[in-house]
Amino acid sequence: MRKIIITIIFLLSTLLILTACGTEKVKDDPEISIKFKVSNLTDEEFQFVGTKELETALKDDFKNIEFSLDVKNSNNISNRKIVIPDFKNVVKSYDKKRYWFGEASRQDNSSENFAQYGNKIVFYSKGLDEQAIKNIFGESEVRVSWTTNSGKDEEKVFKLGEIVQFQ
């Protein structure tokens, strides 16, 4: 009888351990990865910058701005909405002569559990220090919102002037 009880306890313990290890926490919040960095141009990148309208343009007069946003979510959320600023207009609102050129990409289908946004621009930064660049993007926000399975509306807001990294 004692062997049967020990066997039952052993089997129940094993079952409990396997159940605990197999339990996955249900996430309602999406995983959000955001990067916003300002860096110097390389010599190769500077070769593609058209500078004929500037008398004495130097490589150090220009900066790269790179932005990326990756959002991954489970099926436990709905109504995902992402709002990012128009980087070209943000730079031009400071000074129309600062935006040089750029490109943007976006993949955000409501039927998929991920979204990706990217921007890369080159801007004329002569005379601007890091604080001035932070100020240009100080009021610009990235907003990610969603509705949880329980019907609760959630939102995360990122101010670009606060998360910018200089390299």
Task: Please state the pTM of the whole predicted model.
Answer: 0.78
34 and 68 Cβ atoms separated by less than 8 Å: yes
Q: What is the pLDDT along the chain (167 residues), one digit of tens a residue?
A: 676 666 667 655 666 565 665 544 455 689 999 999 999 999 999 988 888 878 888 899 999 999 999 999 887 888 999 999 999 999 998 888 889 999 999 999 878 899 999 999 999 999 999 999 999 999 999 999 999 988 899 999 999 999 999 99
CB proximity list for 8: less than 8 A, separation 6 or greater: none
